Amino acid sequence: MKPVATCPAILIAAPASGQGKTTVASALARLHARQGRRVRVFKCGPDFLDPHWLTLASGQPVHQLDLWMTGETDCAQRLHDAAKECDLIIVEGVMGLFDGEPSAADLAQRFGLPVLAVIDASAMAGTFGALAWGLQHYREGLPFAGVLANRVASTGHAEMLQAGLRDASQWRGALMRSDAFTLPERHLGLVVASELSDAMQRLDAAADALAATPLGNMSTADLQAWSTTFESPDSNDAVFPATALKGQTIAVARDAAFCFTYAANTDCLQQMGAQIVYFSPLADSALPACDALWLPGGYPELHAEKLTANTAMKTSIAAHVAAGKPVWAECGGMMALFETLTTSGADSHAMWGVLPGSVTLQKRLAALGPQQLEVSGGVLRGHAFHYSTCATALPVAARTQAAPGRKLWGQGEALYVQGSVRASYFHAWFASNPAAAAALFLRAQHAG
């Protein structure tokens, strides 16, 4: 018999992006964490920005759940492990409830997660009930936990919304419009929580508002209505070679310019024996002592002037590359390695110049979607999401392929190889193939 663990769990979804899922998920996590409950939050699908807020709200690392990118077995193991030690599991959905392949609804149905629908009701009345009914009944057998109205104008407005429901028992309350807990956005998504001095105050304000709703006024006994049983998988598809990175120190860029890092990716490297050290390309003058370098994605375009001014860091990175030490650069990390970066406002900045060529920010999204990339050691799953394009004389060593059943924007993301440097717009999920992830950081794999 498979080991099982039972815990209240909820998947917070919406009819579309921008409805307020992250605000509600963060508020719910913060509310219960303040009350002393052990809360774990997961994010459905590939996303770097929402987890910053969810981590702050819950006080715990936030991992991704995706039936393709992370894999069904990985999802099952993470949910089972969380259920063994937590009082509440919250999963924030992605896009609309039924959007994407796989969708948040697919995840909910696979693991029996009750779905709470968050609907931006700011410009509707009776249609709110139709949306709620459709979300609940569109797919047969989908567990449903009710509906919460968001960005409501007044008490009277809330009463109209509630009256429009066919099933009054599905009402979980209303959150009024308020600047006090609005989470600001920019291109790519939400502003990172650490950039706002009042981030925790915003979450507390959202938690306070939620506490006045039926959703927020649930006791420990009430939470048992969401009780879900999670089975441990028979085995984990990902094999972690425990000594693959033994003795290796990997320096990881981490600051406001480079903040797109999956917590599970760092865990993966450590499970293979790596020691992780962090540094700031914005503030530090040199790399820490290391055997390999990881430059994750982020917002180099927002900090280009400061990155350019830090010539000492540029020199240190150039010395690392000249020594033949491995570099894995993804998206924003790759952008900083080129010679120039031009912002959407046409301002050009000299970057680190490790790779020949330039990157230019576009007004519109340049690529989006789940993809996979074959590297030394095997195939890594992941995704791409960027607004810039690059122009370089470097040959393309490989290109990403679409996830099964999906189509790529264009011809796939290029993998560029120069000496010990591997760079791409592709964001990898390391646990999809730990051995292939390890090879990105091993000097022997970069010879020749």
Question: So which residues are the catalytic ones?
Answer: 331
CA distance 403 to 429: 13
Distance of CA 122 to the CA centre of its chain: 27
Answer yes or no: are the C-beta atoms of 254 and 52 closer than 8 Å.
Answer: no
**In a 10 Å sphere around its CB, with 0-12 CB exposed, 13-18 middle and 19+ buried, how is residue 155 labelled?**
exposed
List the helix and strand counts (H, then E) for the chain: 13, 25
CA distance 355 to 110: 44
SS3 at position 167 = coil
Give residues with Cβ within 8 angstroms of 164, minimum separation 6. 125, 126, 127, 128, 129, 130
CA distance 45 to 69: 8
SS3 content of the chain, % helix, strand, coil (to 5): 35, 30, 40
Residue 247 region by backbone torsions, left for phi larger than 0, else alpha for psi between -120 and 50, else beta: left
Distances (CA, A) of 122 to 58, 150, 155, 194, 232: 28, 7, 12, 28, 42
